[in-house]
Amino acid sequence: MSIIAQIKSPSELAQYLNAGVYQSFAPEILVQQQVDLHLACVDDFGQVQARCSLWWTDVPKLENEKLGIIGHYATDNNQSEQDKATEVMLNNACFLLKMQKCTRAIGPMDGNTWRSYRFVTDAGSEPPFFLEPTNPPSWPKYWIDYGFEPLAEYSSGLTTDLTQRDERLPKVEQRLQQKGIYFRHLNINNFEQELRRIYSISVESFSKNYLYTPLDEEDFVTQYMKVKQLVIPELTLIAEKDEQPIGYLFAIPDANEKERGEQVKTVIIKTVAVLPENSHAGLGALLVDKVQQQARVMGFERAIHALMFNGNVSRNISGHYATPMRTYTLFSRSFR
C-alpha cells in the first residue's frame, strides 16, 4: 500500500533525496520555481516510487479553463508497481487540483513552457540531443491509462544536407535590406548585455504562443547564461534595424555528441524569434537559412530544428529543410 507525502519546502523534501526518483533533483527548485505543493508516493518500506509537483497559483492561461499543472514527474523504473504508483499519485494530484477549483490538469510541465515540459511519445531512431526532454517510453502510457489525453503535439526535425537552400530567400533578403535591416553575429564578450537586448523580442514574439506565460528579464538572462560556455557567436544571428534588434536565431552545438565520445557534427537551432510586423515577413526563414549555411562553412553536417509546436510558423519553415525525427505530447485531463 502506498501513501502520498505532501511536501511544501526543501527541508521537508530532504528525507527522501536518497531515492532513485530524486537523482539530480535539487530541493531548492521547489522555491525557485514557485511550486505550490510537491507529492511523493511512498511504499510500506519508506521507498519513494513516484513524485511530482503541482502548480495552481501562477500558471498558463487557457480560454474558459482554470489550469492546474503537474510537473517534476518521475517514477522508479526498478519498481514492478511503478504504474500503480503513478495512478495513486495522479489520483491525489488531480484531487488536490480540483480542491483548488481547477477545471483541467496539464502535464508534464514544470510550471510553465519556459521550463521542461512534454513527454517524448515517438522517439524515432536518433539519440537524445542537448536540452531535449527525455523519458522512458512507458511514462506516457501511465498517464493515458489514468485518463489523460493528448492536448498538444510538438516535433523536432533533422536536416542532414546543409547545402539545401530555399529559392525564395534571395528576394526576401533583398527586400529586407531595402528596409534597412542588417545582420550581425552575437558579441560573446558582452553576452549578458546581448541577452538583455533580445529579451523584448522573445517576450513579444512568443506572446501569442500556446500556453504562453510571461517571463521576467532576470529569469530569461539566467536561463541563457547557463549555456554560455557552449555558445559559438557565429551560430547566433541578430537582425537589427536602426541599431535596434528586431529578430534573432540562437543555435548551439549538440553537446550530447561530445558526451557520447562522438565528433560534434550537429547544430541545434533552439530559438527563432522575430517581432510580429508585416514588414518583417520572411525574416525567420532567412535567419534559419543563414545560420545553416554558416554551420556548414564551420564544418557541421546536420541541423536539428528543436521542439516546435506543430501549429507554429517555425514548423512550416523547418519543413523546407528537415524531416521529423521526434514527436512530443503534452497531456491534459478535464475535471468538468
Q: Tell me, yes or no, whether 83 and 197 share the same domain.
A: no
Cell numbers that stand for 336 in this block: 468538468
pLDDT digits (tens, 9 = 90+) for 198-238: 999 999 999 889 999 989 999 999 999 999 999 999 999 99
pLDDT of residue 290: 97
Q: Is residue 239 part of a domain?
A: yes
pLDDT band at 315 (very low <50, low <70, confident <90, very high): confident
Residue with C-alpha cell 511536501? 7
Are residues 300 and 227 part of one domain?
yes
Same domain, yes or no: 173 and 248: yes
Please check whether residues 94 and 168 belong to one and the same domain. no
Which of 41, 13, 7, 42 is closest to 26 using CA atoms? 13
Q: Is the same domain home to 85 and 200?
A: no
Q: Give percent of the chain with pLDDT exceeding 70.
A: 98
pLDDT tens-digit readout, 239-254: 999 999 999 999 999 9
Do the domain assignments include residue 168?
yes
Q: Are residues 111 and 169 in the same domain?
A: no
What digits encode the pLDDT tens for the residues 176-202?
A: 999 999 999 999 999 999 999 999 999
Based on the domain organization, do 174 and 303 belong to the same domain?
A: yes
Q: What is the CA radius of gyration of the chain?
A: 21
Residue at 104 is within a domain: yes
Q: Which of 62, 84, 117 is the last residue of a domain?
A: 117
Q: Which of 59, 91, 117 is the last residue of a domain?
A: 117
Question: Which residues, 6+ apart, have CB-to-CB distance to 5 below 8 Å?
Answer: 16, 39, 40, 42
Confidence of residue 2 (pLDDT cuts 50, 70, 90): confident
Shared-domain flag, residues 169 and 266: yes
| Residue 78: predicted pLDDT | 56
Query: 38: which DSSP letter?
Result: E
- Tell me what pLDDT residue 77 has: 63
Q: What is the pLDDT of residue 1?
A: 57
Mapped onto helix, strand or coil, the DSSP state of residue 171 is helix
Q: pLDDT tens digit string along 96-140?
A: 999 999 999 999 999 999 999 999 999 999 999 999 999 999 999
Give yes or no for residue 13 having a pLDDT over 80: yes
Question: What's the grid cell of residue 330?
Answer: 503534452
Mean predicted confidence (pLDDT) in 152-175: 94
pLDDT band at 152 (very low <50, low <70, confident <90, very high): very high
Q: Is residue 125 part of a domain?
A: no
Give the integer Cα–Cα distance in Å for 82 and 80.
6
- Residue 165 and residue 89 share a domain: no
Beta strand spans in the chain (E): 3-7, 37-42, 48-55, 67-75, 104-107, 119-122, 149-159, 181-185, 237-241, 244-253, 266-274, 302-309, 323-334
All cell numbers assigned to 292: 545553416
C-alpha span between 3 and 39 (Å, rounded): 10
| Segments forming the whole domain that contains residue 318 | 159-329
Contact indicator for 196, 221 with CB cutoff of 8 Å: yes
Cα dist from 8 to 14, 37, 53, 60, 269, whole Å: 11, 5, 10, 21, 37
Residue 17 lies in a domain: yes
Domain of 65, CATH number, reads 3.40.630.30
Span 275-279, average pLDDT: 83
Instruction: Answer yes or no: do 307 and 238 share one domain.
Output: yes
pLDDT band of residue 329 (cuts 50, 70, 90) is: very high
Stretch 278-304: mean pLDDT, rounded?
94
Residues 265 and 175 grouped into a single domain: yes
Give the model confidence (pLDDT) of 53-66 as tens digits: 999 999 999 999 99
Residues 297 and 171 in one domain: yes
Residue 136 lies in a domain: no
From 63, 84, 117, give the residue that closes a domain.
Answer: 117
How far is residue 147's CA from residue 134's CA, in Å, rounded to a whole number?
22
Provide mean pLDDT across the span 129-154.
95
Whether residue 226 is contained in a domain is answered as yes
Position 240 in a domain:
yes
pLDDT for the residue 336 = 87
Name the domain count of the chain: 2
